[in-house]
Amino acid sequence: MRIEKRPHVSILWLVSAPLLASLAALILSAALIIWAGQSPLRAYQELVLAALGSRGGLAETLSYATPLIFTGLAAAIAFRAKFWNIGGEGQLYIGACAATALGTGILTAPPVILIPLLFIAGALAGGILLVIPVILKTALRVDEVVTTLLLNFIVLLVVSFLIEGPWRDPMALGWPQAAPIIDEGVLPKLLDRTRLHIGFLVAVGCAVISWFVMQRTVWGFEIRAVGLAATAAAFAGMRVTRVVVIAALISGAMAGMAGVSEVAGLKGYMTLDLSPGFGYTGIAVAMLAGLHLLAVVPAAIFLSAVYVGADSMSRTLDIPTYLADVLVALSVLAILVCTVFARYRLRFS
C-alpha cells in the first residue's frame, strides 16, 4: 500500500470537505453526549435553537463570530504565504491597546471619523507587532511559530501592566480595567437590545476585500505563488521576502482589528479577559474554511454557533460546555483528513 498524489483534484470534493468534516465531528461528538446520558438529537436541537432559533440567539452568535472572522482571516492570509502566524491572540490585544490609547479621550472627533481611526490604529498596531517575527524568519530563518506564540505572552504581560498601572480606570472600584472608550468611539449596534454591532459588517467587508485582493490582484497572485512554491516564485522574478512581509503585515492588521471590535464594540473597555482565545480559535476557523477567505465567514459563524449553543445545552441538559472545544477540535482534524484524501489516494498493489 502506498500514498500517491491524485492527478486531478475534484473541486466538488474540496468544496464539500468542510461540510463532511463538520458532519463527522457532530457524529463523533454524539458518542460523548451518549456517554453523558443524553440524547444526541436533543442535545444538537438545543444547540441549534439556542444559537440560531431566536433573534437574541442569532445576534449573540454573529457577535461572537465577529472577532473569529478577523482572526480567521489573519490566519488564512498568513498561511497562504506559508507564514505560520500563531500570534493572533497577541495581535488582537495590541489592537485593543491601540484603540484604548486613542479612544479614551486623547483624540476627540465625530463617530464617522473616530471609529475608522480606531480600526486603522488597531490594524497598524497588529501589523507592526509582526514585524519582529517576520524579520527573524526572513533574515535569520528563525521559526515563526515560536516567535509569534511567545509574543502572545509578552503582549498579555504588557496589557496586565497597563491596566494595573498607568491606564487603570480610577472609577472601576479596584477592578483591573482601562478607562472606557468615549461615546464617539463606541461601535453602533445593529440590533437594539443585543450585543451585535457594526464590527460584524466591517469583518465581512474585510473578508470580501481580502478575497478580491487575493484572487484579482498582482499582490494576491504573488502571495499564492510564494505559498505554493517559493523557489519557483523566486525563479519567476518575484521578491519572496517582500511578499512574505506584506502577507504577514496584512495578517497582523486583521487580528489587530479584532481587538478594536471587541474593546470598542462589545466591552467598551480593555481587560485582561477581553478574549477567551479568539486568536487561537481563528486558526481553527481558517483550517475549517480551507484557507478560502470568503469561506472564513460561514466557518466562523458555525464555530461561534457551537460555542453559543453549548452554553444553553449545558444549562438545559447538564452536558459539560467543554463539548464545544471537542467539536471544534474534531472539526479541524476532520477537515485535515478530508483535505488529505482530496489530494492523495491509497494505492494497493
Residue 102: predicted pLDDT: 92
- The pLDDT of residue 309 is 86
Alpha-carbon distance values, 56 to 66, 196, 314, 321 (Å): 15, 9, 18, 20
Q: Is the pLDDT of residue 262 over 90?
A: yes
Percent of the chain with pLDDT over 90: 51
User: Tens digits of per-residue pLDDT, 144-200?
Assistant: 999 999 999 999 999 999 998 898 888 877 788 899 999 999 999 998 888 999 999
Averaged pLDDT for residues 117-127:
95
Task: Read off the pLDDT band of 54 (50, 70, 90).
Answer: confident
Question: Which SS3 state, helix, strand or coil, does residue 9 take?
Answer: coil
- Strands annotated E in the chain: 2-5, 344-347
Instruction: Residue 130: name the closest of 296, 284, 288, 279 by CA.
Output: 279
Measure the CA dihedral 241/206/202/258, to 10°.
Answer: -40
C-alpha to C-alpha distance for 136 and 261, rounded to whole angstroms: 29
pLDDT at 286: 92
* pLDDT > 90? residue 261: yes
Split at pLDDT 50, 70, 90, the class of 252 is: very high
Confidence class for position 246, pLDDT limits 50, 70, 90: very high
Residue 7 has pLDDT above 80, yes or no: no
**Has residue 337 got a pLDDT over 90?**
no
Residue range 111-117: mean pLDDT, rounded = 94
pLDDT confidence of residue 325: 80
Q: Give the model confidence (pLDDT) of 193-244 as tens digits.
A: 889 999 999 999 999 999 999 999 998 999 999 998 888 999 888 899 999 9
pTM of the model: 0.91
Residues in a beta bridge with 346: 3
Least confident of 93-102, 181-190, 322-331: 322-331
pLDDT over threshold 80, residue 339: no
Long-range contacts of 34-38 (CB under 8 A, 24+ apart): 36/317, 36/318, 36/319, 36/320, 38/317, 38/318, 38/319
Q: What pLDDT band is residue 17 in, cutting at 50, 70 and 90? A: confident
Q: Considering only residues 11 and 40, tell me which one the structure prediction assigns the higher pLDDT.
A: 40
| Cell numbers 474585510: residue | 206
In this predicted structure, the answer to whether residue 138 has a pLDDT above a threshold of 80 is: yes
pLDDT at 121 over 90: yes
119-128, 191-200, 270-279, 324-333: range with lowest mean pLDDT: 324-333
Give the pLDDT of residue 101.
Answer: 92
Mean pLDDT confidence for 300-306: 91
CA dihedral of residues 29, 34, 38, 41 (deg, nearest 10): 50
Q: Output the CA–CA distances (angstroms, integers) from residue 238 to 210, 221, 224, 231, in the order listed.
A: 20, 10, 12, 10
